[in-house]
Amino acid sequence: MTAPSPDGIRIRIRCYTQPPHPHKRLPDAGLEDCYNTLQYLLRGDKAMAPMRFTMDTTGGFQVPFAWGHNTCAITITDAKAHAEGTFQFVLLAHLAAEVMEGCIKDSTSSLGGEAKLGDEDQFEILVTGTGYKPRDMGVIGNETDDSIAEQRR
């Protein structure tokens, strides 16, 4: 699976796998609901504008933040403490769409996955079933060559 990336931005994608513990089953993400959720990222006049993403409450778009529709949630969160970066919402939507295509539509499961964004993987864009709590589950996914894509232009 490959994910096109803008100049100087590293992108990694991986798909989630079901944990071995039946009491910690991951919820499925509905593809159609994910397409509807994706529209939230593209609404408004700021979809193409560079936006500062940060945990800081003094300016920029504060993360973590989630959009959801029925069985699908798209979340942007910091993967590293004090992460900060400037991206366009259209890039986040593109990454979410890549995860949807590779980890839901073209997958034997519909658990979703994640895209890590930034030169040091500062941010994660998660596409999951609603109710998924990545930091609580302790299960992230499989890291086979087929499920991780890295590209630099």
pLDDT in tens, 90-142: 999 999 999 999 888 877 778 889 998 877 788 999 999 887 655 443 333 33
pLDDT category at 75 given cuts 50, 70, 90 is very high
DSSP type of residue 14? E
Phi and psi at residue 145, to the nearest 5°:
-60, -30
pLDDT at residue 134 in the model: 53
Query: What is the bridge-based pairing of β-strands 11-15 and 149-151?
Result: antiparallel
pLDDT at residue 72 in the model: 92
pLDDT category at 89 given cuts 50, 70, 90 is very high
Angle 89-100/31-41 helices, nearest 10 degrees?
A: 170
The answer to whether 89 touches 79, Cβ cutoff 8 Å, is no
pLDDT category at 7 given cuts 50, 70, 90 is low
The answer to whether 89 touches 46, Cβ cutoff 8 Å, is yes
The rounded Cα 114 to chain-centroid distance in angstroms is 4
